[in-house]
Amino acid sequence: MNSLKEFIFDIFFTGGRLRNKLFFMIVAIALTPLVSVSFLSLYTSTLSHKNDVAIIEDNILFQKSVEIQNFIDEILSTFKIHFNLPLEQLIVKEDEEITYAVAKKDLNNILQSIMEENSFIEETSFIDASILRDKNEPTNVYGLEVAKVSKNGENSEAFSSLKNLSYFQSAARGKDYVSEVFFTAKGPMVIIASPVRNDMNRIIGVLTGQVNLLGIQKIVSRTQFGNSGYLYVVDREGRIVASSRERGSIKPTNLSGLALISDVLLGKDRLGIEGQGRFTSFWNEQVIGAGKKLRSLDLSLIAEWPVSDVDSFINTIRNYMILFSVITLLLILVSSIFISHRIVHPIEILEKGAERIAKGNFEEPVTIITRDEIERLGTAFNSMMMGLKEFRALKDEFVFIAAHELRTPVTAIRGYLSMIEDGDAGPVPPKIKEYLDPVMQSNMRLVTLVNDLLEVARQEAGRITIQTAKIDNLGMSISAVIKELKPLADKKQITVLYDDRAVKPVMTDESRLKEVMVNLLSNAVKYTLGSGKVSIWHDVRENMLVTHVRDSGIGIPKEAQAKLFEKFYRVQDERLRNVTGTGLGLFIIKQLIERMGGKIWFVSEPGQGTTFSFSLPLAF
């Protein structure tokens, strides 16, 4: 779990790693088709949905326009059916003028039967339209309303002249007529007029009727699409005549101010995807509307479908697509993490193995089981590690033998040089003594190098012996080291201050501890150029006694601090060209302190000195 958390942290907060590159590459490869397909599916489904909405509204408009036209045609056909008889039987001639006799009763019966056949006819009347055959002129009763029947019982007894009315004139010329809509207490009405012909196909009269448009309301009210789509009919003024939304009485609300309705009133049908419009309806809701003009009736049909209802289906699809995409994305991310981790993990094992080899650890072979080329690479890596281990063993053996064999002659040379310098072979002339001094210094450096090499070889070969024991007089051991190095400090006018108030008994190897202190104190003196001060003190931290050695020297550059404990590493500084050293001292004391159960570290600022600190376990 922790490795997964670390990996996820690396993915999002650490850049430039192979695993990150693989992760983002896999995600990109997987997401590209997913995003493309999702976008294309959403686009096509949206376009298809718009087309479906247009088709539904168009079909409803065409269907209802046919039903409304059939409603009017049915009423007109009702008028025509009852007058396929020679109506001249109802009239007599008098002085070559035509006048009505006692036929009104029969006309009233015919008109009454028309009203009974169609319940939406509120009132019917018969208007004379006969003309003289020989003179082709209107008779004296031309344009008179000779019979009238109404549902409210108001039947006409007197002849009224209607010859100047438009609906009479239109029907008298042989053309069916439907008037503009007018509103009454009973609802919206129209006047329908139809010519009456005799058996010789001559127009002898006009049959008119007031038709209640509740029939259209019934046709429209049965219309619903979706959950809340509705249809309504408006007259030439834009007033609502019938509506599937208005279930009660119809109010003559004027909607001509809406752009779509205005276009339809002007005769421009708004059909199809191109004709559809999205707008705010009279009822203050966003709708998708379409419209069709009923030119024969001067009415317009408007279909409106609330956007919230229209888009509910596509929104559901969109939500499912988003959910599917999110789930797929999560699966892609998890799969990408797994795949990239599976590919990179063996490489990380090799990387850690290489780091262990760099630190000199040849005891832990890498374990890679992938059954492919990487597993073979791991096997080759282990073979390489074993070869390096054998090579190091040979090298350590060689260094140990060489250092051991060099130690005896180098020590002998040092002895003889000391005897010559002391005059055991006779007086030493000044000139010869001048030559002997650099030889003695070089021999001392060589002795130190051989001893350090021998110490390193013993450590790496595991031949060094550490015998820890309780040391009560740690302060005395450190004081002895200070006394031993005091001449070197005095020569450079460096004051060594030791505060032993916090010293405690520790578990350590006293002789090895002295080696550590000699190295740290001599370094503090060597790397303090000119006069200065070296301070030594102790403190206790978590069952460990920590010893600090602080100098006022030149400090350690930042770029050199990471390599300070490596073998043969020395800081490159022009100011240190006269300071001798092998580059092995800090490596040796680090190994010694760690084998005694402690740790060593330092804090340094260039130009402000350095503080070396090491810890040892307290003795209880």
Three-class secondary structure of residue 286 per DSSP: strand
Instruction: Provide the β-strand partners of residue 290.
Output: 303
At 449 the pLDDT is 63
pLDDT for position 566: 81
pLDDT confidence of residue 289: 92
- What type of residue is 149? V
* Of 450, 464, 456, 451, the residue nearest 566 (C-alpha): 456
- Which pair of structure tokens corresponds to residue 544? 């460990």
CA distance 234 to 265: 9
256-264 contact pairs (CB < 8 A, 24+): 258/282, 260/289, 260/290, 260/291, 260/302, 261/234, 261/291, 261/300, 261/302, 262/238, 263/291, 264/291, 264/292, 264/293, 264/300, 264/302
Beta-ladder partners of 551: 534
Q: What is the pLDDT of residue 114?
A: 86
What pLDDT shows up at residue 94?
A: 43
Question: Which CATH code fits 384-461?
Answer: 1.10.287.130
Tokens of 450: 């051989």
Find all residues with CB under 8 Å of 92, minimum gap 6, and list them: 99, 101
- Residue 63: partners with Cβ closer than 8 Å, 6 or more residues away: none
Core vs surface per residue 311-332: b (16+ CB within 10 A) or e: beebeebbeebeeebeeeeeeb
Question: pLDDT tens, 136-159?
Answer: 556 666 888 888 888 877 665 556
pLDDT number for residue 204: 81
CA distance 520 to 253: 103
Strands lying side by side in the sheet with 277-280? 240-243, 230-234, 299-306, 286-294, 277-280
C-alpha closest to that of 189 among 246, 256, 238, 123: 123
Q: Write down the pLDDT at residue 580.
A: 63
Q: CB of 229 within 8 A of CB of 258?
A: no
Q: Which pair of tokens denotes residue 252?
A: 């003559």
Helix axes 214-221, 18-81, angle to 10 degrees: 150
Check: CATH 3.40.50.2000 for 469-617? Answer: no
Exposure string (b/e) for 370-407, b if CB count within 10 Å is 16 or more?
eeeebeebbeebbeebeeeeeeeeeebeebbeebeebe
Looking at residue 15, its pLDDT comes to: 45
Take residue 486 and report the two structure tokens written for it: 């005091």
Give which of 272, 267, 329, 276 is closest to 296, Cα–Cα. 267
**Closest-CA residue to 526 (of 471, 447, 583):** 583
Q: Which residue has the tokens 């609802």?
A: 187
Residues of the chain with pLDDT under 70: 1-16, 19, 81-105, 131-141, 154-159, 246-252, 395-408, 410-411, 414, 441-464, 572-582
Instruction: Label residues 23-57 b or e (16+ Cβ within 10 Å = b).
Output: beebbeebbeeeeeebeeebeeeeeeeeeebbebb
Task: Please tell me the predicted confidence (pLDDT) of residue 603.
Answer: 92
pLDDT on residue 59: 93
DSSP helix/strand/coil, 209: strand
Architecture in CATH of 50-328: 2-Layer Sandwich (3.30)
Q: Where are the domains of the chain?
A: 50-328, 384-461, 469-617
CB 577 within 8 A of CB 449: no
